[in-house]
A and B are shown apart, each in its own frame.
Chain A
Amino acid sequence: MGRWLRRLRVLLGGRRFDDEVRKEIDFHLAMESERRQENGESEQEARRGARLAFGAVDGVREEVREARGMSFWDTLVQDARYGLRTLARSPGYTLTAVLILALGIGANTAMFSLINGVLLEPLPFRNGDELVLVRQQAVQSSRADAGVSIQELQDYRSRLASVEDLVEYHSMSFTLLDHGEPDRVDTGVVSANFFHMLGIQPLLGRSFLDGDDDLGAEPVLILSHAYWQSKFGGDPSVVGRVLEMNDKQHTVVGVLPPYPQYPRDNDVYMPTSACPFRAAAEAEPTSHRTFAGLRVFGRLAPDATLERASGDVAAIARSFERDYPQDHEATRSLGFTGDAALLGEELVTNARSALYVLVGVTVLVLLIVAANVANLALARTLRRGRELSVRTALGAGRGRLARQLVTESVLLALAGGALGVGLAGLSTDLLAGFIGRFTPRTGDIAVDGRVLLFALVVSLATGVVFGLAPAFALRRDLAGGMKEGGVQSGAGPSRHRLRAGLVVAQVAASFALVVGAALLLVSFYRLATKPLGFETEHVMTAAIYGNFSSLETTEDTQLFERQVLETLRSSPGTRSAALTAAVPQSAIVPGNVPVTLDGFGDGTPYEVDRNYASDQYFDTLGVPLLAGRDFRPGDTPEAPRVAIVNQSMAELWPDADPVGRRFTVRGPGMPGMPGTPDEQSFTVVGVAADYRLYDVEQENPAQYYLPVSQNPGRGTRLLVRVDGEPLDAVPIIKAAVHRADPLTPVEELATIAEVRSATHLAAPRLTAALLAIFALVALAITLVGLGGVIGTTVSQRSHELGVRMALGASRLSVLRLVLWEGVALAVVGVVLGTACTVFFSRVLSSFLFETPATDPLALAAVAALFLLAAVLATAGPARRATSIDPMQALKVD
């Protein structure tokens, strides 16, 4: 150990070490010559004598360097200089190799920067690895986190010792009024100690203080950095300003620094007491025990482990079910429980498989790149056979030559790596956007020191690996290089096998990639063209959240809703209009509501999904009503409560004919919404056909719809069926809403098809596109490599081919001979690639929609493509082979 440290010190000392050795030798010579002068020699004689007695000074210096382990580096510098000179002499080879390497190393560096940012960097919070999420879930339903209710949070605060500083978070969308211009803001509703717990200090003003979240406290706001910049131009005097929200005056008390917000980006933050729904729910402590809308997290206690915390949460959650049987009636059969999860893990779970696929892809690309460049280097060594033979003859050992070759390839790889890091830097935004669809942890994705180190290591490793191939071949056949025609010498069968093997490896790896890309493309096509059972292109949607200040009462809201619909329905170009709670195919998941059928079944509740719709909703979407009637204006809050069910829910009744029958919903009403009792019965008035309201990868749930007219405030999404160009409806929709209430913002205008494309299709489209790009690049590199190998073979065999033709072989048979050689390599590669695919597609399968990972048709199609491509890549050299002049070929010898 000490020895290496000493050597490192000498190495880093560089010139200083040489100077010291020189000084040491000078001292010796001076002393020796002084001694000789004292013995009576003349100054000149003494100096000469000292030098003679010392021996060759340069030789000694060299030996000293060697003794210090410096000779390795001296040789390296020599080799590198020589390598740079030879590389500069063949710019074509150098450029090709560097570009190909840049692709491979760049792709891997970019991928590592993703992994580094998403999985390796610590959470950007104080001791982020101690943060845990407290989750509750019903085991048999598919949701990992069903949220926590206010009462449950209070119980956890008093009983959960292994997690400290519990804070709550949920997100709302409110209208903020400033200068009279309505602005919809994403609002984080949090406990007062939220920022303190995370260790975030405000940039301006103060953080929330204890008491800010007490019921009845003065409403205060903290602005996010981005919102402060965009809406207030970074004006520091914003602190102290009063903004109107939800009909109340809120004082801005602080501005956050720019930090990656979790769980999501919000425009503003308010304490829990300022949120009208949250405050109302807290004011009614006895009800809504299971109205669980909160995300709860905290910090592991100093002596606690995640396992203990998880066990504690589970025990407390189970006690809720025991202590509050009525509240848990609905979920009892589903196995209500809880656990704790590391926040850092939780944030990246969904991104893992996407990252693994990308890693698999880029490793394959690097493999192809290394094999390809190895082949280029081999071909070049072949051409350099003469030079290398001369050097051997002059005394260079094989090891020395091999070292030279590896040094050259490492130089190439380093240049490729540098260029690759540039490419990676350019692509991180794109990749961060991609992975951002699976995780919020994209804030730390950047080319930092660790990423650079990774790129360096990968470059060195790649350089050594692809440099070893020609060095290895060198061992076999250097002899004979000095003979006449040395350029073509050294092409022994072993070397040809090596080159062929490298091509086969490339074909195999790119085959797996192309198959993967093909599967993803097929899957994306199936996903995008999956029939949804309703119209998406000609339905324009918009978000209209009623404004609290002008719509004070239920009647106001109802009037507003009716006015908007009536104006739209009488506008030219619109066929129908409806209100609902959520845009079909937007980022929504089915809820589950416990439903019992009056007079049927044993009273065990079914899990059913609840939705809200106005009249003409099914009409607008083009979903047929199979029985009964649509909602109508007469379904007022005073009229009997009605519902429309979908086909799947209708089938819960034994005769599937529920019109006129009743069902009952038990469970929590909506807190802060008086008039939604905990138990309600509804009369079924209609049955609608099943259609895909949710992501098509979800099972279509049993559903019922309640009329917006009996549930005022639920119709926050507008659906408008248009005849012509959907964009033309935008001004019509805005005008209609503003005629009913000028203060209600009209937002998120898009057709359902656009909504679907942005939410459910964007990630698979990007995945498929990314993989397709990689696959095409890999295929191109491979085909060029294949063509190159066959080309070299043809020029090596030109003599043999010439002899064949002189002996009467037809041009066609020569063509076939050469083509077959290329195709044979491709066939072997495809066979190996198929084996490779079996492994790779297992990773892919979670990304495939209605497409088996080992789709024989896709495999066969891609295999055919490869064989065709192999023929094309070989065609050039094959044609060249047929045009060999037998006379010329014979004359060469």
Chain B
Amino acid sequence: MRKVLPFVAALIVANLFSFFAMAQDITIKGNVKNATTNENVSSISIMIKGSSEGTYTDDKGNFAITTRRPLPLELELTGVGFESQKVKVTSVDQPIQVNVKTSIALGQEVVVSATRTPSRILESPVSIERISNTAIRNSAAANYYDIVANMKGVDMISSSLTFKTPTTRGFAGSGNTRFNQIVVGMDNQAPGLNFSVGSVIGLNELDVESMELLPGASSALYGSGGMNGTLIINSKNPFKYQGLSFQIKEGILGLTDPTPYHNANVRWAQKVNQRFAYKIGVEYINAKDWQGDDYRNYKRFGTSGQIVPGTRETDPNYDGMNVYGDETSTNIKSILNLIGTQAPFLQGFINTLPAEMLVSRTGYRENEVVSPTTYNLKLSGALHYKITKGIEASLTAYWGNGNTVYTGSNRYSFRDLKMGQYKLELNHKNWFLRGYTTQENAGESHNLTVTTQLINEAWKPSGGTTGWFVNYSQAYLAQRLAGKTDFDAHTAARSIVDVGRPVPRSDEFKAIYDQVRLKPIPLGGLLLDRTDLWVGEGQYNFSDAVKFAEILIGGNYKQYILNSEGTLFGDKAGSPIKINEFGSYIQVSKNLFNDVLRLTASGRYDKNQNFNGRFTPRVTALIRAAKDHNIRFSYQTAYRFPSNQQQWIDLFTGNGRLIGTVKELWDKYNMTSNPVYAAESLISGNPEVVPYTAGKPESVASYEIGYKSLIARKLLVDVYGYWSQYEDFLSRRDVAQKKDPAGGFDLANIDGYSIVVNAPGKVKAYGWGASLEYILAANFVVSGNISSDILDDVPANFRADFNSPKYRSNLTLANTAFGEEQRLGFSVSWRWQEGFYYQSDFASGDLPSISTVDAQLSYRVKKSLFKIGASNLLDSRYRNGLGNATIGGMYYLSYGYNIF
């Protein structure tokens, strides 16, 4: 008993002591400088050891922490690109001065998206790639989206200068619905258009803190979509990244006929006090866009086709890939036969002509209808408020507006596209709660094919007894009767009937063009779309409450409001269609065998009102074979509900009508009482009825094994291999319905439809990737990767649109700081992808291999960063998708201030 008492007394005294200490606030002030350059360093994290209290240095390198903890204290300083340091604080009388040393540390970065909890990238249980703000700063790419293409296993589709779509593990395309982009916690997909517009309307480059790329199936944590991967882009918190930053980039596109490129970025963030901080940002791009200039002849069969020889001058039925309006085509033999019945003395001659004489209307080239001037304005702002020390509330807004070009089943000119995302979020170490909405407005966006077809019709209708085709047929016949050959007669006939055709860029053309593009489809080419998305989601991490394992639960609710006034979807003006979706997930992680094995199991359940519920599990195992040698195994599943367009589209495209999978649309066109027939069965002459089948979500199950290790702190190795099986692929199929059910299957009596179907059978995909990153002397880092994706067991006649090269590789040599006072930085990267057969709704054909070099050299003095750079240094022109813009070199000079 006597022994106990002093102990209790000591405890009480200690408590009293700490009570008094807590009652007394102290403020530690200090400044952080770069040990080599003696410049102030911002955004260095300063934590009081053993607590969760901390702050960041501001743009002048200064910091201040107010705490009730007693001296002496130890501060831990960490920052990207700097060695960690510990500093003892024994007195607060004088500001403390800390000098940090630059360093390159491989594999130390922390990623969140792999498990929704922070972990070292070296210990991620699934494949993940991370791009830090340092990497962005030192990259030669003109746009941070382009850097993603340097990661292993990534394919990039460029529809135009400002429209980049990254993808992993196949199925690349402008409107990729199998790859999610989540920007600051919000799905970046334009809800009505069904493609991510991150590079058009997303983060200002100066506000990007990091990008995390999850290749492979990731529905288990992120929900519908993400069958092939997820890209997560995080922004810079204004508490950490403060002050004024700006960057001006001036450049040219192309070496032959160069056009100017202007890009300006501004970010301003201020920490007003310990609780409140805000940021605002603006980015503006103005340039002459790359344009589609593939004038090869494309022979269409419904939604597929092939490249064939021929030009406008040499093929009467020419249909150029990036030439629009020439999709309108007819067999003039039937018109000639009508002429023959009126002029029987010519019938004998007409009979000697071939049965099929397809002639297309004269189209307009992309550069004749789309203004190359592209602009892109991104505005962003966020208010952050710490309600308590642990809970941070934020209100975030992103709004973007711009012109760009997109490749879907046709090329679309997006003019004055607007999209806003607004989010309210509460964040705690263990949980978050957020609600956001995406507000989309397609502006004056229009379908180039439909628009140009209607321009032709407005100038001279195709049909009718005085129509273009009848005039053409008469002119052709007259030329033949004057002795001209078939070839010359076609040429002469076209020049005769095209007399007076509106000349591109003329006032007459502009008047017709403006009239047509501003009328909604089908009377014009306008895509009227004001679809909205509303989302609420939350997550709770029970790690503080439950100790035997780490448990995480979360859930979300989504509502899409499809509003196209009947021009895109099967909605009506004033009564938009609502689609509700909800989902929830749980994840349990446990370390076993002295942390050698970490097992994680997650499961997610989602339900869309139009489809059956879906459960997607994921199991991962991480074996820490030795320090910094980790082997990962995972079984992941993912699924995708048919996109909003696949559910509800009701769009006449000029060749036929695209309809979604919901029964309401089949009923709208009486497709049950007046059945539809498979197009291929009509061609073969054995009409086969296609009954209504409810659409199902498509799904994928994927197995992956990977190994990541850091050898001698100098070499980072990452390899993976995966094997996936896809099921119930969502695809389209061409069918035809008789106008008059009593009539026959002649072309005049059928309407074409393209319906959504789940393809039968299972399709396998497999691949691998490997990367090495090695630190050389003097801060030089060389890195390289190679990866491969292969699709197998594709059913006959099924177009998978896999669009992935068998092999691709990247090689980069970079140095973030070298030379005198480490003022210089540079990087050179080379990217190569093998050629492959590209498939899409727009066009299919061989895509040649692509090889590009990006390079930059930068010079830093104080807070200024001068950079000279080039992407595609050798200006070697390429297209990374059929029908897409032809990309050349881009050369720029930039000046940046306070780029962190």
User: Do A and B belong to a common assembly?
Assistant: no
